[in-house]
Amino acid sequence: MLRALEHLRGITTEECRRLRNGGIRHTNQLLHVTTLEIDRTTIARRTGIPEPRLLEFAHQCALLEVSGIEAYIPVLRRLGITSQKALKRQDAAEFHQRMVEALGFGAAPALSQVEYWISQVRSIDVIEEGEAAEEPPVQFASPSLLSTPTAERTGADQP
């Protein structure tokens, strides 16, 4: 979704000016030029904005790409969700309950909406982070491997 750079939490007027001087006019453009670590290095060198700061902005931009989440971003931040990776690790029912506790039943999104957000972020992972920042995958093994009978996994049926 196209938003003015000023829409990003914590961005300064000077950072907006530097990004615009570099041809970056809105959050979608910023997301695309900060997706890869090598690109963040280049943008940091050109604008003088530190790479960790650009990564923070990239995470904010990526969350804005999730359909229907924008109005709830301040609440997500309060609940510790600052990136798509953090959101995709949530259990939908538990996270929905936390949102209801934070907002009240009438103001919280429906469980189906929270499930939709999580399904969206699980199907996309647009921001490359350094190796030290990598997190384990959401799912460690294929579901079909998890349901393999014990005898086949241990080789007990072999002579």
pTM, 2 dp: 0.74
With the CA atoms of 57, 62, 66 and 70 taken in that order, what torsion angle do they form, in degrees rounded to the nearest 10? 10
**Average per-residue pLDDT in the chain?**
83
- pLDDT digit string, tens, across residues 62-89: 998 899 898 999 999 999 999 999 999 9
Question: What structural domains does the chain harbor?
Answer: 1-65 (1.10.150), 68-131 (no CATH)
* pLDDT level of residue 142 (50, 70, 90 thresholds): very low
pLDDT above 70: residue 17: yes
Measured CA distances, 68 to 48, 63, 110 (Å): 33, 10, 11
Tell me how far apart the alpha carbons of residues 60 and 15 are, in angstroms, rounded to a whole number: 15
- pLDDT digit string, tens, across residues 86-130: 999 999 999 999 999 999 988 999 999 999 999 999 887 678 876
* pLDDT level of residue 5 (50, 70, 90 thresholds): very high
